[in-house]
A and B are shown apart, each in its own frame.
Chain A
């Protein structure tokens, strides 16, 4: 069963703009992760944020977590055409043994 739900389902922006994707989940978690998937490829881990963290940065990526609202956001700043991909959030439902993925946000960055 899915745990996270990403919003929006699709996002199209111009190169240089910022892209914000949101994720909501239902149960308590130990951590939340964001992944990227290029078309027809495997997923690549981007960033992990633990339940006791509120914000995390990695290069042009900024992730926030609000456990009271059971939501997270992924911000990509100064987007590039190469950022075009699908982005997924995943949560562990508190058991650490398996991650549940949302349906993803398909980001298109136009050059």
Chain B
């Protein structure tokens, strides 16, 4: 069966520090991968999605970046965090034309 792992669950980082959040998927190959951000009490904002290794589409201009070094690995990064980067970050995978997204358990990032 397919599983998705996202870590860490919580993270507190100072302003200006770097960020690296990792998401891995098991039990499937060539999935579509996504990073979303959710502000408190709000909906999900699509940040990045990837349809294959090295292929990244960015939805929102920001100081975040994403990379897909392996088929089932998706990394969200920042060189210097801003206070506004605080939020709940969710990774998800799906198949093109598939039956829905499977989400990871999320990372709550607080930038202080």
Q: In the complex, what distance in Å separates the CA atom of A2 from the CA atom of B108?
A: 21
Q: In the complex, what distance in Å separates the CA atom of A45 from the CA atom of B94?
A: 11
Which residues of B (1-55) have their CB < 8 Å from a CB of A? Answer: 6, 32, 34, 36, 41-46, 49, 51
Q: In the complex, what distance in Å separates the CA atom of A45 from the CA atom of B88?
A: 18
Decide: B106 and A40 in contact? CB cutoff 8 A: yes
Decide: B90 and A101 in contact? CB cutoff 8 A: no
Q: In the complex, what distance in Å separates the CA atom of A69 from the CA atom of B63?
A: 38
Which residues of A (24-46) have their CB < 8 Å from a CB of B? Answer: 30, 33, 35, 40-45
1/0 contact string of B78-112 vs chain A (CB within 8 Å)? 00000000001010101011011111111010000
Q: In the complex, what distance in Å separates the CA atom of A103 from the CA atom of B6?
A: 23
Q: Residues of A within 8 Å of B, CB-based: how many?
A: 24
Q: In the complex, what distance in Å separates the CA atom of A80 from the CA atom of B94?
A: 30
Decide: B101 and A45 in contact? CB cutoff 8 A: yes
Interface size class of B (residues with CB under 8 A): 20 to 34
**Of the candidates B43, B94, B99, which one forms a contact with A2 in the assembled complex, judged by CB atoms under 8 Å apart?**
B43
Decide: B103 and A44 in contact? CB cutoff 8 A: yes
Decide: A101 and B44 in contact? CB cutoff 8 A: yes
Decide: A98 and B102 in contact? CB cutoff 8 A: no
**Of the candidates B32, B46, B49, B106, which one forms a contact with A42 in the assembled complex, judged by CB atoms under 8 Å apart?**
B106
Decide: B96 and A43 in contact? CB cutoff 8 A: no
* Residues in A whose Cβ lies below 8 Å from that of B43: 2, 88, 101-104
* Residues in A whose Cβ lies below 8 Å from that of B99: 45, 48
